[in-house]
Structure 1
């Protein structure tokens, strides 16, 4: 997943904040008024004390330690750039979230209807730690993030932090792991299991319906109007999704040393490495599409000459593919599959 560029001069500030409001049943009358309870599990009893509820207490390990949750959280902050994609289909609306993509709401069109007309506060990619702490979250979720040890220490001194899993890369948490971890943190494992099953069924059906994909090589490249190229590796969610459809990453890219990162830079002199049975081209910004469409190096690839170069000029699709969450994958498949079929047929 491609991380958003940090705001200038904001390196020492923290990414993304928000706390949760129940979206099923009665919603809180305003974000400033607090948080609506998400069911009874983990809610306060008659004495005002939190009940543990099923699945609690629980411990969720991360690269810096572990989040120890005694009861189901009633309010939370989401620092991960797409963590809200798991919350919203569970009927949970963040009061504040990281701006992901070009949309004013900060969320993709695949989940925007689930906001139910509410307008959570939208933050930039970097956020003030004190602003997060001021929300007094029961738990902070930062799975799809680049949270540092220092940031983790500061935030976890005020409450549990569900940070990047052990051995994961920044912004590189598998969509299933993301959803399952959030389900555990919320005590909603059963609901998450249904979401996962539905998304996986959509992937499996797409593969069954399109046997022409099986064994075909692919490369997904990110470029811009300046003509810089980065090919996504097996560490990236785009590649993982395409391989679930039966496609396989081009050996030319797989054999490059990416240092464990989700993409590898490709120079203009190496542009031939980007060729494959199907080449998917994404752009850094929606405004780059016209320039990229005329890129002479990409248009000289054998794939382009036989009509197998797929330029994504639908930026909603570009972002859905890059998000690769339990919510965005079905949206991406609906729009991308016909393009892939045309390219490889």
Structure 2
């Protein structure tokens, strides 16, 4: 039965992609990559790139092991497990990227293409991977690829550009439907603060305007605070400002960050942090090392999984900002 289901997924992919002619060429930050023939064995490195082929009915031969939000320790996030189950497939090879890309493990899967549209690969990484198979790298800069770009870039490398575009449109419609139920969020300013360490509060770290966590808040109706826009460097996914300049963030309605209530309580004892209005009034969303915390960095399969919960939490934080 497993093999039959996998074959059904492959037939769907092959049929849907029949109109796409090869070779296909995809431009990216390191130049361009040409995929000569339709890839059958698909591998990926970096974060969540494997979700694109999965969403298109293709089971990858290997992808990066989940290092954050993996509740059961199987190396995969729940929406990935659900999709593999739906396709009737077992878990493929999982690459351990804790110390960087495991090139030998990637090569062992004998891929026809390597997807890396959302990743931090260097030029050297790209060149090494290219000796294994054609590589679809990020469009502009490391870790700044949006979920839309991840889909479009990776789908193009699979010869499924039209299907990728349709997928983006479908997800956008579902987001719009969910967001329409939360008009209170629209126009509020949201800032995504990086992990705050009570042992070192000399600076405030934040995800920059180019990071997709921030862009996802925009998808949900929020706006990026002026100070974040001004302090964001081109091509950088994060930034820092001195804590002495915390008044720059007086216009922030909601803060999203990683941590728990105990850490937040400790932070508010700091006289500088206490001047951060959003934190002082508790209009904060605390994300843990769980699927919700992971999906705040949106991916093709995770958006539906957490969308309603995230919007509900944003609405609650907006309500606290008015208290």
Range class of TM-score, shorter chain:
0.7 to 0.9
Question: Residue by residue, what CA displacement relative to the aligned partner does 1:143-192 show, whole Å, maximum 9, x if unpaired?
Answer: 11122222222322343111122xx1101112112111222222333433
Aligned equivalents of 2:127, 2:282: Cα separation in 1: 51
Alpha-carbon offset, residue 213 of structure 1? 2.1
Question: Residue by residue, what CA displacement relative to the aligned partner does 1:261-296 show, whole Å, maximum 9, x if unpaired?
Answer: 11111333333434444333322xx6x663234312
Of the structure 1 ranges 273-282 and 181-190, higher mean CA displacement relative to structure 2 is found in 273-282
* Residues 1:27 and 2:13 are matched in the alignment: no
Q: For 1:229-268, list aligned pairs within 5 A.
A: 229-268=204-243
Q: For 1:299-314, list aligned pairs within 5 A.
A: 300-313=275-288
> Residues 290 and 159 of structure 1: is their aligned pair in 2 closer, same or farther, counting only changes over 3 Å?
same
Aligned equivalents of 1:257, 1:37: Cα separation in 2: 42
Which ranges of 4 or more aligned residues in structure 1 deviate by more than 3 Å? 23-28, 40-43, 224-229, 270-277, 297-300, 304-307
Aligned equivalents of 2:192, 2:152: Cα separation in 1: 27
Aligned equivalents of 2:102, 2:116: Cα separation in 1: 14
SS at match of 2:114: strand
1:216 corresponding residue in structure 2: 188
State whether residues 257 and 284 of structure 2, in contact with CA within 8 Å, keep that contact through their aligned partners in structure 1: no
Aligned equivalents of 1:112, 1:162: Cα separation in 2: 24
Of the structure 1 ranges 214-223 and 88-97, higher mean CA displacement relative to structure 2 is found in 88-97
Aligned equivalents of 1:134, 1:79: Cα separation in 2: 14
Alpha-carbon offset, residue 42 of structure 1? 6.7
Q: For 1:154-233, list aligned pairs within 5 A.
A: 154-165=128-139, 168-225=140-197, 226-227=199-200, 229-233=204-208
> Residues 109 and 42 of structure 1: is their aligned pair in 2 closer, same or farther, counting only changes over 3 Å?
closer
State whether residues 97 and 106 of structure 1, in contact with CA within 8 Å, keep that contact through their aligned partners in structure 2: no
Question: Residue by residue, what CA displacement relative to the aligned partner does 1:67-119 show, whole Å, maximum 9, x if unpaired?
Answer: 21122100022013110121222222333221232412333223321122623
2:290 corresponding residue in structure 1: 315
What root-mean-square deviation, in Å, do the aligned CA atoms of Structure 1 and Structure 2 show?
2.9
Q: For 1:129-144, list aligned pairs within 5 A.
A: 129-144=103-118
SS at match of 2:107: helix
Of the structure 1 ranges 296-305 and 106-115, higher mean CA displacement relative to structure 2 is found in 296-305
Q: TM-score, normalised by structure 2?
A: 0.82
State whether residues 41 and 61 of structure 2, in contact with CA within 8 Å, keep that contact through their aligned partners in structure 1: no
From 232, 238, 244, the equivalent of 1:269 is 244
Aligned equivalents of 1:83, 1:267: Cα separation in 2: 34
State whether residues 24 and 92 of structure 1, in contact with CA within 8 Å, keep that contact through their aligned partners in structure 2: no
Aligned equivalents of 1:89, 1:176: Cα separation in 2: 13
SS at match of 2:296: helix
State whether residues 55 and 300 of structure 2, in contact with CA within 8 Å, keep that contact through their aligned partners in structure 1: no
State whether residues 219 and 231 of structure 1, in contact with CA within 8 Å, keep that contact through their aligned partners in structure 2: yes
Aligned equivalents of 1:135, 1:53: Cα separation in 2: 27
Aligned length: 303
SS at match of 2:90: coil
Note the residue ranges of structure 2 that are not aligned, 5 or more in a row. Answer: none
SS at match of 1:294: helix
Q: TM-score, normalised by structure 1?
A: 0.77
